[in-house]
């Protein structure tokens, strides 16, 4: 579908749970999400109905996210049902990696082709601190399992945090030398619930290029991808910069987001939401509601340091 600003919208990010087995300080409050009433979070078959309608509207790329998608009950049933929908060309998932050793094989068998794993530090103690209790060794096992299984693409997502991991930028970049992975640095985005943590911790993606001047810019294989890619000459993997704060990529935006509680969000940074729950059992009304959400996509967002977004990433689905 083409939106009101001439952009082809063909990518949906679906958050399948708002729960998580970690509590990253920039994403979730220490106590986790407020528990939703039974029935507020969509059921597996409801996500499948939405996926079908999205595909009818021209979406050919779906990424499952959360919260942490691997803690979602019925995950494999969901990936199996969505994975076999005709018309879906690209099916992927973003995870913190903790449960990947357990699920990676079945995820691949049920159609997941590409995996993004989040890791903000290579130091176990710092990982425990930023995630409020996570065990880094489990994420590394998840990463190695994903690489061994031969997914089409494995990416690492690293949020840049001042005073926390800027001294590790080079170590992350060096991971691309002998591994066929993309390491992507993401600029920290400010969410209302985490403002105390986020204030003053923003670093621009430019810092990565300053730390590693030998990085060479690469032509993108997907011009609508938010990351700009670079490579150390001879490296097996690439380095990506995702800069929602310093460089807008809205003119290339191709996506729509579905939250775990059944809202369509036209833009990560807009406060507008379209509740799909009342129309889930009527596919033409569901289609109309999604079309309305896509039509409401703004031309651009503007985020400044010191401004905060209302729904945090764990609730939106990053």
Between helix 136-149 and helix 100-109 the angle, nearest 10°, is 20
Q: Which does 28 bind (CB under 5 to 8 A by kind): ligand SAM, ligand SF4, none?
A: ligand SF4
115 is a site residue for ligand SAM (CB under 6 A) = no
Please identify, among the stretches 18-26, 71-79, 264-272, 299-307, the one whose residues bind ligand SF4 according to the rule CB under 6 A: 18-26
Question: Contacting ligand SAM (CB under 6 A), which of 49, 92, 96, 204?
Answer: 96
By CB under 6 A, how many residues form the interface with ligand SAM?
Answer: 19
Binding of ligand SAM by 104 (CB under 6 A):
no
Q: Which does 189 bind (CB under 5 to 8 A by kind): ligand SF4, ligand SAM, none?
A: ligand SAM
CA distances from 209 to 120, 178, 213, 217 (A): 18, 20, 5, 10
Of 103, 191, 229, 230, the one binding ligand SAM (CB under 6 A) is 191
Task: Tell me, rounded to whole angstroms, the distance of Cα 236 from its chain centroid.
Answer: 23
Contacted by 159, from ligand SF4, ligand SAM, none: CB < 5 to 8 Å by type? ligand SAM
- How many chain residues bind ligand SF4 (CB under 6 A)? 13
| Rounded Cα distance, 316 and 318, in Å | 6
Is residue 197 part of the contact set for ligand SAM (CB under 6 A)?
A: no
Least gap, CB of 16 to ligand SF4 (angstroms) = 12
3-state secondary structure of 115: strand
**Quick one: which of 270, 268, 255 has its CA closest to 225?**
255
User: Six-digit token pair at 314?
Assistant: 């764990």
In angstroms, the CA 65 to CA 63 distance is: 6
Phi-psi region of 123 (alpha: psi -120 to 50; beta: other; left: phi over 0): beta
User: Rounded to whole angstroms, how far apart are CA atoms 68 and 17?
Assistant: 7
Tell whether residue 96 is a contact of ligand SF4 (CB under 6 A): yes
Q: What is the CA radius of gyration of the chain?
A: 19
- 148 exposure class (CB count in 10 Å sphere: 0-12, 13-18, 19+): exposed
Binding mask 12-51 for ligand SAM (x = CB under 6 A): --------x-----xx------------------------
Residues 136-175 as x/- pattern, contact with ligand SF4 by CB under 6 A: ----------------------------------------
Round to whole Å and give the CA distance between 15 and 160. 23
Residues in touch with ligand SF4 (CB under 6 A): 20, 22-24, 27-28, 66-68, 96, 118, 313-314
Residues in touch with ligand SAM (CB under 6 A): 20, 26-27, 65-66, 68, 94-96, 118, 157, 159, 186, 188-189, 191, 313-314, 318
């Amino acid at each position: 579908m083409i939106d009101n600003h001439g952009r082809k919208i063909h990518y949906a990010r679906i958050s399948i749970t708002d729960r998580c087995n970690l509590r990253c300080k920039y994403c979730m409050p220490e106590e986790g999400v407020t528990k939703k009433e039974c029935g507020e979070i969509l059921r597996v078959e409801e996500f499948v109905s939405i996926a079908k309608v999205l595909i009818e509207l021209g979406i050919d790329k779906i990424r499952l996210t959360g919260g942490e998608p691997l803690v979602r009950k019925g995950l494999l049933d969901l990936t199996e049902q969505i994975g076999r929908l005709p018309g879906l060309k690209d099916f992927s998932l973003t995870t913190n990696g903790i449960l990947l050793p357990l699920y990676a094989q079945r995820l691949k068998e049920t159609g997941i082709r590409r995996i993004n794993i989040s890791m903000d530090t290579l130091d176990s103690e710092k990982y425990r601190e930023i995630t409020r209790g996570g065990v880094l060794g489990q994420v590394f096992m998840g990463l190695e399992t994903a690489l061994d299984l031969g997914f089409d693409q494995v990416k690492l997502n690293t949020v840049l945090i001042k005073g926390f991991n800027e001294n590790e930028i080079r170590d992350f970049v060096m991971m691309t030398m002998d591994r066929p992975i993309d390491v992507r640095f993401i600029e920290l985005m400010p969410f209302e619930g985490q403002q105390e943590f986020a204030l003053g911790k923003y670093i621009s993606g430019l810092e990565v290029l300053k730390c590693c001047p030998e990085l060479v810019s690469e032509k993108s294989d997907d011009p609508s991808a938010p990351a700009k890619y670079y490579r150390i000459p001879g490296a097996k993997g690439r380095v990506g910069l995702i800069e929602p704060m310093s460089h807008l990529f809205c003119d290339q935006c191709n996506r729509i987001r579905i939250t775990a509680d059944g809202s369509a969000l036209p833009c990560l940074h807009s406060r507008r939401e379209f509740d799909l729950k009342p129309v889930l059992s009527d596919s033409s009304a569901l289609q109309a509601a999604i079309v309305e959400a896509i039509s409401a996509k703004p031309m651009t967002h503007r985020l400044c340091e010191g401004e905060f977004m209302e729904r945090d990433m764990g609730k939106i689905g990053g």
